[in-house]
Each structure stands twice: as structure tokens, then as C-alpha cells.
Amino acid sequence: MITALVQFKLPQPMTTEMAQSVFAETAPKYREVKGLIRKYYLLSEDGETAGGAYLWKSREAAAQLYTDDWKAFIEHKYGTKPSIIFFASPVIVDNLVGQIIMDDQ
């Protein structure tokens, strides 16, 4: 599994309420993305930076989403280009379901 951290600087700061409304518009499109386990929408405390943390089954699955078209969509919607950093996620603690998940399981 891998985690992708996507970030972009907003042209204007957002409140949490504004961000929730904007993010809710795009959330349904991620429900059926192949290989995506979980997505967290993110907003910095000062409201100046937004993004997402994505948990993927594989780097190949992530590459299917982070295309030039997707980057252009982000730039058009939020007014700035995203940066993407990938991390290996060999162990995940999931307190919601009460499990420790390892990459080889």
C-alpha cells in the first residue's frame, strides 16, 4: 500500500465550512476509483493550503488517477497546481475497525 499526500496553495483562504461545501462536490467521484482505499480531504489550520491524503492499494492504481487531466482539473477548480508526494504504507492502524493492516495481507 502507498499513501499519496496532495497539497496546493489556495488563492484565497477557506474556512472549514467553505471547504466542506467545496470538497463535498467532488467526493462522490472518488467512491468508485479502482485501487483507492480511503481519501481524506485536508485543509490547513490557516485555511491557505488544501489537499488530500489518499491510501492506495498500489502505486500503479494511484497513477491511474494522477493524470495530466486530473492535475488540470485541480488547477482549474482551486486556481493552483497540486504537488504529490508518495509514501510507502507498510503498516496501518485502523481503530475504526479495530485492525492493524500490513502491506502483505
- pTM as predicted: 0.89
Q: What element of type H or E holds 4?
A: strand 2-9
| Mean pLDDT, residues 65-88 | 94
pLDDT of residue 77 exceeding 90: no
Residues 6 or more apart whose Cβ sits within 8 Å of residue 23: 41
Mean pLDDT of 68-83: 92
Rounded average pLDDT over 86-96: 94
What mean pLDDT comes out for the span 5-12? Answer: 96
Instruction: Tell me: pLDDT of 103 over 90.
Output: no
Q: Which residues contact 83 (CB under 8 A, 6 or more apart)?
A: 6, 7, 8
